[in-house]
A and B are shown apart, each in its own frame.
Chain A
Amino acid sequence: MTALSVCTLTHIQPRVSRARIQEVGPRRNVLSQRVYDGIPVHELSVCQALLTQVAEIVDAQGAPRVVERITIEVGPLSGTEPTLLQNAFLAMRSGAASTAELRIDRCPVGIKCLECGAHSETRPNRLICVHCGSWRTRVIAGDGLRLLRVEMRIGDMQQSPDPAAKAQHV
């Protein structure tokens, strides 16, 4: 089992918009990438960032890999909607991950009370201590938006397409 640390990250920007800056001179190509017209949700940006990180992990293996499953954590306080992210993933997955499954762990919101020290599970819009009622709390779970695990097998996606996965594309 290999562990990758966060320091493997690079300056790759999640961007799926056709953002541009007006009256600033010629457009630089960094601001024009794939466009998914009519889907103005930030889950596309998150998905793009996810696929970039997975591609970096695949590249680091040093041999062709087919990604079978990606596991991420999406907390209710992360601002990302798991269903939309799942849909974006099905539309955008490509390369070594073009047949991958996305598993989303929906971690519930957990807070720690800074007054009485109690831990409690609660709703995203009610972050006050369940035990003593104090609003002096700290969110300890449920605000994460993290890549947790990438499972892959040796193989080349182009040479040996998975027939089952092909059917999913139809």
Chain B
Amino acid sequence: MCKTCGCAIRPTETHHNVMHPRPHFTVVDVVQNLLAANDVTAAHNRQHFDDHGVLAINLMSSPGSGKTALLEATIHALKDRYRIAVIEGDLETENDAARIRACGVPALQITTGTACHLDAGMVHEALHSLPLAEVDLLFIENVGNLVCPASFDLGQHLNVTLLSVTEGDDKPAKYPVIFRASDLVVLSKADLLAVLDDFDPARAAAAVRALGLDIQMIHTAARRIPSINAWLDWLESQLRTRVLPSTAPPSETILDQEARSPCA
């Protein structure tokens, strides 16, 4: 007999809780993604993009690997053919948004304060200030960080991770989570390969392949415009396959509805 409550208990079972859970004690089993709320908002953002035929690309990398420089060169090359907008994420300053605006396209700066990444809610907030109906290609330049941004879906269609050749070719092995989330890896500052003897693009590619990925790795050197042609070709091929809204204009878009009752 159980000494705690007097119930019948088999001699082989000594642990009281195994036989009968404590009274007035509740155990709730769930299998619930901890970032489910973020994912719901991300799906909502994606719906905004699809309703307006916008291709949204999330750019991630370490600080200083050339995200903004690549965007500047991309905007100069494509702005006559596509309507481009940029959401910039940084802990502080509006420097990057100012650089993008100087290229002649709209840019919104999100300053995250202490947060090391953008999340879907921050991007959603920014969307309400962007003329999405007048945008074909939206870049979201995430906070420079190879760790945290990987965990948060923003609603983007594609993730692009930059790996500058000054960083070391073992970065994909050191930061597998972010590279595993990528649809394309851009080897930036590739013009410096000529003077760097310790970065082997083949080793970087092997480290990406070791993550079970068969993704493209494109070389760019944003300061030398012809060298970003492979990147531009990739972008244009993605733009051709983006989700376009139906030919009939929607009678009421999500953003129109939210103008009356904010959905945040």
- Indicate if A158 sits at the interface (CB-CB under 8 A): no
- Contact call B177/A49, Cβ cutoff below 8 A: no
CA A149 – CA B21 in complex, angstroms?
15
A interface, size bucket: 35 or more
- Indicate if B2 sits at the interface (CB-CB under 8 A): no
- Contact call A139/B212, Cβ cutoff below 8 A: yes
CA A14 – CA B32 in complex, angstroms?
14
- Contact call B129/A21, Cβ cutoff below 8 A: yes
Given A42-B152, A77-B177, A79-B151, verify A145-B35 contact (CB < 8 Å): yes
- Contact call A150/B24, Cβ cutoff below 8 A: no
Given A22-B94, A30-B264, verify A13-B30 contact (CB < 8 Å): no
Given A49-B37, A52-B37, verify A135-B209 contact (CB < 8 Å): yes
Q: Which of A38, A147, A153 is close to B22, meaning CB atoms less than 8 Å apart?
A: A153
Given A42-B116, A111-B212, verify A25-B34 contact (CB < 8 Å): no
Q: Which of B22, B97, B119 is close to A15, meaning CB atoms less than 8 Å apart?
A: B119
Q: Which residues in window 47-91 of B have CB below 8 A to A?
A: 91
Residues of chain B touching chain A, judged by Cβ–Cβ distance below 8 Å, are 22, 24-38, 40-41, 91, 94, 97, 108-117, 119-122, 125-126, 129, 147-148, 150-152, 172-174, 176-178, 180, 207, 209-214, 262, 264
**Can you list 22 A-B contacts (CB < 8 A)?**
A1-B28, A1-B29, A13-B41, A17-B114, A18-B114, A19-B112, A20-B113, A21-B129, A22-B97, A23-B94, A28-B264, A30-B121, A30-B125, A40-B91, A46-B151, A49-B36, A111-B212, A138-B212, A144-B33, A145-B34, A146-B31, A153-B26
Further 15 A-B residue pairs, CB within 8 A, beyond A4-B32, A42-B115, A72-B34: A18-B112, A21-B111, A23-B108, A24-B129, A31-B122, A42-B117, A50-B34, A53-B32, A53-B36, A79-B178, A126-B210, A128-B212, A138-B212, A145-B35, A150-B27
